[in-house]
């Protein structure tokens, strides 16, 4: 998720679930071909399985980026056909690509011909107010012919005019039945549903309806501890023996390694774990300590120690900063 997630967030989420597939935020072909490749593609070995999501619409550029993804060790390349932002529309990719299924097919084919990684597509179920099922059915059919076997369906339309990207994740109604219809029409494809899933009951209802998987965005970010139950519940693994404290300690060790290797300040990593104690007593104070930039001169282990002292005065009162 652009502006929210990064490799540090994925490292954190991987501590909570060993099996959930993690996706990068969208990286544009322009950023990769003309920018700092390492900044966009670096990740820790622990993050596997991890997919690189690309934004672009030039088959040759996407193929070159897919090659980079393979070289850097990603497990999958996903093409974004769902982002409605104006910037992305100006670049003629993201959701507006749904109007051009043949071009998307060419993009998929160019990437599939270049690398051995699976090429997948994330898309909406329609553009604007057009809710005809045939539109998304034909999109999926055309793109599948080019070799895409996995479709991640954000089950609402993208309204390309008049709504901000945030509103475009909230206002167009969710229509999960469209994802189900796609699965019925294309039983051999893997259809993963996305959008508004924030409880196990909601996820299970989709799986029970025959969908092959669920992608969770915002709820996973805000309530990451939910992920700790997924390996047992959805992947048949033994129940997790994780504790919040062990995860926090592992993150502190990671912060120390990242600081030594790349000079990364602890707070640019800690921001992703602020929801770790979501719903637990003392969560607010714990979160305040970990998000207090006035502590930024302290080592991460010291911040953790302060965050853990129950009932301690707020950090800003402990000493002059
Ligand atoms: C801040 C933010 C950034 C996002 N960036 C991306 C992105 O880079 N690529 C993408 O495919 N979807 C992106 N999304 C959309 C989510 O992946 C997801 O499709 C959407 O939020 C609906 O799922 P959810 O209800 O589980 O969050 C973003 C969402 C948010 C909130």
Ligand 1 neighbourhood includes 217 CB (under 6 angstroms): yes
181-213, pLDDT tens digit by residue? 999 999 999 999 999 999 999 999 999 999 999
Ligand 1 neighbourhood includes 196 CB (under 6 angstroms): yes
Residue nearest to atom 6 of ligand 1 (CA): 1
Query: Is-catalytic flag, 96?
Result: no
pTM as predicted? 0.95
Instruction: Say what the pLDDT of residue 51 is.
Output: 98
Give the span between the Cα atoms of 166 and 163, in whole angstroms.
8
Ligand 1 neighbourhood includes 81 CB (under 6 angstroms): no
Domains of the chain by residue range: 7-235, 244-313
Neighbours of 140 (CB within 10 A): 22
Take residue 256 and report the two structure tokens written for it: 């120390």
What atom in ligand 1 is closest to the CA of residue 24? 8
Which one of the listed residues 9, 81, 83, 107 is annotated catalytic? 83
Question: What's the CA-to-centroid distance between 194 and ligand 1, angstroms?
Answer: 9
pLDDT tier, 312 (very low <50, low <70, confident <90, very high otherwise): low
Ligand 1 neighbourhood includes 218 CB (under 6 angstroms): yes
Question: What's the CA-to-centroid distance between 217 and ligand 1, angstroms?
Answer: 6
Instruction: Say what the pLDDT of residue 320 is.
Output: 35
72-116, pLDDT tens digit by residue? 999 999 999 999 999 888 888 999 999 999 999 999 999 999 999
Question: What's the CA-to-centroid distance between 96 and ligand 1, angstroms?
Answer: 16
My answer on whether omega of the bond before 49 falls inside 30° of 0, hence cis, is: yes
**Is the C-alpha dihedral spanning 43, 47, 51, 53 positive or negative?**
negative
What atom in ligand 1 is closest to the CA of residue 3? 1
CATH number of the structural domain 244-313: 1.20.120
Closest C-alpha to 109, from 79, 89, 74 = 79
Is 195 annotated as ligand-binding? yes
Q: What is the 3-state secondary structure (H, E, C) of the chain?
A: CCCCCCHHHHHHHHHHCCCCCEEEEEEEHHHHHHCCHHHHHCCCHHHCCEEEEEECCCHHHHHHHHHHHHHHCCCEEEEEECCCCHHHHHCCCHHHHHHCHHHHHHHHHHHHHHCCCCEEEEECCCECCCCCHHHHHHHHHHHHHCCCCEEEEECCCECCCCCCCCHHHCCCCCCHHHHHHHHHHCCCCEEEEECCCCCHHHHHHHHHCCCCEEECCHHHHHCHHHHHHHHHHHHCCCCCCCCHHHHHHHHHHHHHHHHHHHCCCHHHHHHHHCCCCCCCCCHHHHHHHHCCHHHCCCCHHHHHHHHHCCCCCCHHHHCCC
Instruction: Say what the pLDDT of residue 8 is.
Output: 98
Give the mean pLDDT of 9-15: 98
Question: What's the CA-to-centroid distance between 60 and ligand 1, angstroms?
Answer: 26
Ligand 1 neighbourhood includes 197 CB (under 6 angstroms): yes
Ligand 1 neighbourhood includes 6 CB (under 6 angstroms): no
Closest C-alpha to 111, from 31, 56, 192, 154 = 56
Q: What is the CA radius of gyration of the chain?
A: 21
Place of tokens 């309530």: 223
**Is the C-alpha dihedral spanning 266, 271, 276, 278 positive or negative?**
positive
Question: What's the CA-to-centroid distance between 313 and ligand 1, angstroms?
Answer: 37
What atom in ligand 1 is closest to the CA of residue 221? 27
Give the span between the Cα atoms of 294 and 69, in whole angstroms.
38
226-256, pLDDT tens digit by residue? 999 999 999 999 987 999 999 999 999 999 9
From 40, 76, 169, 195, the mutation candidate for ligand 1 (largest count of ligand atoms within 8 A of CB) is 169
Residue pair 108/146 in contact (Cβ under 8 Å)? The answer is: yes
Place of tokens 């707070």: 267
What are the φ/ψ torsions at residue 260 (nearest 5 degrees)? -70, -40
CATH number of the structural domain 7-235: 3.20.20.70
Give the span between the Cα atoms of 280 and 69, in whole angstroms.
39
From 218, 222, 227, the mutation candidate for ligand 1 (largest count of ligand atoms within 8 A of CB) is 218
Question: What percent of the chain lies above the pLDDT cut of 90?
Answer: 92
Question: What's the CA-to-centroid distance between 123 and ligand 1, angstroms?
Answer: 11
Identical fold for domains 7-235 and 244-313, yes or no, is no
């Amino acid at each position: 998720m652009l502006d929210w997630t990064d490799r540090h967030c994925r490292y954190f989420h991987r501590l909570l679930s060993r099996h959930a597939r993690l996706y990068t935020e969208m990286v544009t072909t322009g950023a990769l071909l003309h920018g700092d490749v390492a900044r966009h593609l670096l990740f820790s070995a622990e993050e596997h399985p991890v997919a690189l999501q690309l934004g672009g619409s030039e088959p040759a550029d996407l193929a070159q980026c897919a090659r980079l993804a393979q070289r850097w060790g990603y497990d999958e390349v996903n093409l974004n056909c769902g982002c409605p932002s104006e910037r992305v529309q100006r670049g003629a990719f993201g959701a507006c690509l749904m109007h051009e299924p043949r071009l998307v097919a060419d993009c998929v084919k160019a990437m599939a011909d270049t690398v051995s990684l699976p090429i997948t597509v994330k898309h909406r179920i329609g553009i604007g107010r057009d809710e005809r099922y045939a539109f998304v059915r034909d999109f999926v059919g055309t793109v599948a012919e080019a070799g895409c076997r996995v479709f991640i369906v954000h089950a609402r339309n993208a309204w390309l005019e008049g709504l901000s990207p945030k509103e475009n994740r909230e206002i167009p109604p969710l229509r999960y039945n469209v994802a189900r219809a796609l699965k019925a029409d294309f039983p051999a494809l893997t259809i993963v549903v996305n959008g508004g899933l924030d409880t196990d009951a909601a996820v299970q209802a989709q799986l029970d309806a025959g969908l092959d998987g669920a992608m969770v965005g915002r709820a996973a970010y805000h309530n990451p501890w939910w992920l700790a139950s997924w390996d047992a519940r959805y992947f048949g693994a033994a129940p997790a023996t994780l504790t919040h404290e062990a995860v926090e300690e592992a993150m502190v060790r990671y912060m120390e390694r990242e600081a030594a290797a790349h000079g990364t300040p602890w707070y640019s990593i800690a921001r992703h774990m602020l929801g770790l104690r979501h719903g637990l007593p003392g969560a607010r104070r714990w979160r305040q300590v970990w998000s207090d930039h006035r502590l930024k001169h302290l080592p991460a282990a010291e911040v953790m120690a302060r965050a853990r002292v129950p009932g301690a005065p707020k950090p800003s009162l402990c000493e002059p900063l």
